[in-house]
């Protein structure tokens, strides 16, 4: 008895069946590929590679400059170059040396008192903080007698300009350096090498003063203006307690301050008000102001260096030195109105700005795959590149490209290292293909073709060699192209 097979209908609705109208899902709930939420791209931080290095350099420079400024002594500090201070920035050690040389020290705290004492003559006037002295008092230095020497410690360019000192420039460095005197000035020659080279002064204006000496690479300048002799010292290190023992600083500072029996030490640590001018002769038993300082209302000619108040209540503007017959003008002090580090910071900010502009000018991020407007067949690309080589007559470059591709395929087929040496590669190819080693060497590393015929022959030989290596049964050596004799061109 045989069982008759029964046809079982397939499970599920027929292929051509349609669902009932009531069970059709709403169109709004159907998933749409276009409305699917795209995954959020990770944020790129590649811009940090361009921003962080310049920012780090700028921070280091600014931090170093800030620390440098903190370490610099403050002229407002009462201990700064004070003859009574034993602090590092004080000058008690120098004061003891001066007293040991037999010089009497008169400490003054007001510029007017110091000028009155210096006007008596036979003295040395030491001004440790020229920046705090009012410029009108500094202009009065030319009125001192010839027996009074004046020593100014490190006046800066703005002080030189405001005090009408006859110098062209004053360039200040970050630190003091030691140098040899390089002059015949007695205190410098006796001291020798000293750490005084920090602020270097320009030449002396010849129509206003006469230069006496210039030592330590322009850091110590002596000139005579009027009847007085003024010495500019380019660094405060030889006078400080913590630096006086370095090099020959002690000898230099002591030699500058012991040339007279009296030393008037102006110990000033605050900015002063401008001097007052009066014509009342009863205040000092005589003329209260020198004739050159009297206002024009007194009937006597006044000094153009001092703006004094006249009858009209307006200040007469001083006439600055200058106006050489050669047409030269004093240098513009604006370039040295700011500390040197500000120009370095400005240059770094400019570099950062330029680098940022260059970075924003190019597209950042990973490459984006974009569809080509048309599809170009590989054969057309190869043919077009070949025509370019043909038009340029670049036979050597063409064969070099073919050989580079063949070498890459051969090292891959023979499982060799990409940087294998030529001899090992030639032996391996010869063993696999059955070709003679000299022929393999000529095909892979032979001379460049001289015409199109040689180029075609070399390309054909490369293709046959690749086929011989790639097939299981290498091409017989008899089917390979014959090697050209030595010295014969192909």
Q: Rounded to an integer, what distance in angstroms lies between the CA atom of residue 135 and that of residue 141?
A: 10
Domain ranges of the chain: 46-72+340-362, 77-269, 395-479
Q: For residues 63 and 58, what is the distance between their CA atoms, to the nearest angstrom?
A: 8
| Sheet with 262-266: strands ordered across | 104-108, 262-266, 123-127, 148-153, 228-233, 220-225, 210-215
Measured CA to CA, the distance from residue 482 to residue 461 in angstroms comes to 10
Q: Tens-of-pLDDT digits for all 490 residues of the chain?
A: 444 444 444 444 444 444 444 444 444 444 444 445 566 666 767 777 777 888 888 888 888 777 766 667 788 889 999 999 999 999 999 999 999 999 999 999 998 889 989 988 899 999 999 999 998 889 888 888 899 999 999 999 888 988 888 888 888 887 888 999 999 999 999 999 999 999 999 899 888 889 999 999 999 999 998 788 999 999 999 999 999 999 899 999 999 999 999 999 999 999 888 776 555 554 444 444 444 444 445 555 556 666 554 433 334 433 333 333 334 455 555 665 666 777 788 888 888 888 877 777 665 566 677 777 788 788 888 888 888 888 888 888 888 988 999 999 999 888 888 888 989 999 999 988 889 999 999 999 989 888 889 989 999 999 999 999 888 544 443 344 444 433 333 3
Which phi and psi angles does 402 have, rounded to 5°? Answer: -65, -45
Instruction: Tell me if 459 sits within 8 A of 399, measured CB to CB.
Output: yes
Contact yes or no for 302/296 (Cβ under 8 A) = yes
Q: How far apart are CA 282 and CA 288, in angstroms?
A: 8
Q: Which residues contact 216 (CB under 8 A, 6 or more apart)?
A: 179, 180, 181, 182, 183, 188, 194, 196, 197, 234
The contacts of residue 136 (CB under 8 Å, 6+ apart) are 274, 275, 306, 307
The CATH topology of domain 77-269 is Rossmann fold (3.40.50)
Q: Is 384 exposed, middle or buried (0-12, 13-18, 19+ CB in 10 A)?
A: exposed
Estimate to the nearest angstrom the gap between the alpha carbon of 342 and the chain centroid.
11
Helix (H) or strand (E) holding 123: strand 123-127
Pick the closest to residue 473 from 437, 429, 434 (CA basis).
434
């Amino acid at each position: 008895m045989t069982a008759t097979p029964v046809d079982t209908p397939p499970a599920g609705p027929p292929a051509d069946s349609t669902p009932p109208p009531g069970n059709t899902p709403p169109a709004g709930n159907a998933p749409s590929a276009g409305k699917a939420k795209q995954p959020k791209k990770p944020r790129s931080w590649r811009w940090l590679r361009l921003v962080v290095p310049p920012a780090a350099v700028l921070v280091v420079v600014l931090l170093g400059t800030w620390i440098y400024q903190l370490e610099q002594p403050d002229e407002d500090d009462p201990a700064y170059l004070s003859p009574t201070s034993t602090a590092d920035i004080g000058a008690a050690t120098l004061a003891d040396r001066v007293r040991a040389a037999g010089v009497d020290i008169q400490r003054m705290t007001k510029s007017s008192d110091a000028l009155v004492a210096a006007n008596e003559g036979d003295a040395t006037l030491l001004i440790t903080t020229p920046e705090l002295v009012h410029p009108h008092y500094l202009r009065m230095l030319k009125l001192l007698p010839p027996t009074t020497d004046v020593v100014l410690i490190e006046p800066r360019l703005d002080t030189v300009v405001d005090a009408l000192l006859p110098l062209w420039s004053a360039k200040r460095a970050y630190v003091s350096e030691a140098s040899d005197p390089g002059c015949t000035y007695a205190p410098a020659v006796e001291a020798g090498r000293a750490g005084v080279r920090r602020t270097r002064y320009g030449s002396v204006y010849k129509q206003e003063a006469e230069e006496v000496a210039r030592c330590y690479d322009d850091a110590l300048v002596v000139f005579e203006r009027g009847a007085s002799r003024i010495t500019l010292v380019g660094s405060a290190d030889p006078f400080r307690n913590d630096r006086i023992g370095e090099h020959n600083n002690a000898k230099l500072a002591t030699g500058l301050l012991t040339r007279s029996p009296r030393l008037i030490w102006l110990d000033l640590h605050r900015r002063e008000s401008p001097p007052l001018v009066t014509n009342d002769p009863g205040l000092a038993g005589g003329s209260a102001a020198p004739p050159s300082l009297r206002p024009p209302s007194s009937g006597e000619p006044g000094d153009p260096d001092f703006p004094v108040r006249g009858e009209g209540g307006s200040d007469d503007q001083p006439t600055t030195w200058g106006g050489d017959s050669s047409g030269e003008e004093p240098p513009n002090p604006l370039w040295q109105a700011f500390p040197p580090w500000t120009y370095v910071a400005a240059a770094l900010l400019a570099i950062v700005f330029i680098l940022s502009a260059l970075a924003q000018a190019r597209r950042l991020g990973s490459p984006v795959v974009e569809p080509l407007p048309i599809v170009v067949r590989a054969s057309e690309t190869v043919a077009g590149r070949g025509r370019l080589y043909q038009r340029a007559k670049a036979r050597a470059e063409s064969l070099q490209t073919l050989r580079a591709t063949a070498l890459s395929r051969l090292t891959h087929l023979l499982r060799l290292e990409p940087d294998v040496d030529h001899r090992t590669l030639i032996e391996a190819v010869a063993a696999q293909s059955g070709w003679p080693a000299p022929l393999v060497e000529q095909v892979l590393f032979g001379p460049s073709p001289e015409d199109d015929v040689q180029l075609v022959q070399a390309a054909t030989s490369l293709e046959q060699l690749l086929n011989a290596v790639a097939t299981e049964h290498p091409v017989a050596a008899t089917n390979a192209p014959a090697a050209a004799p030595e010295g014969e061109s192909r």
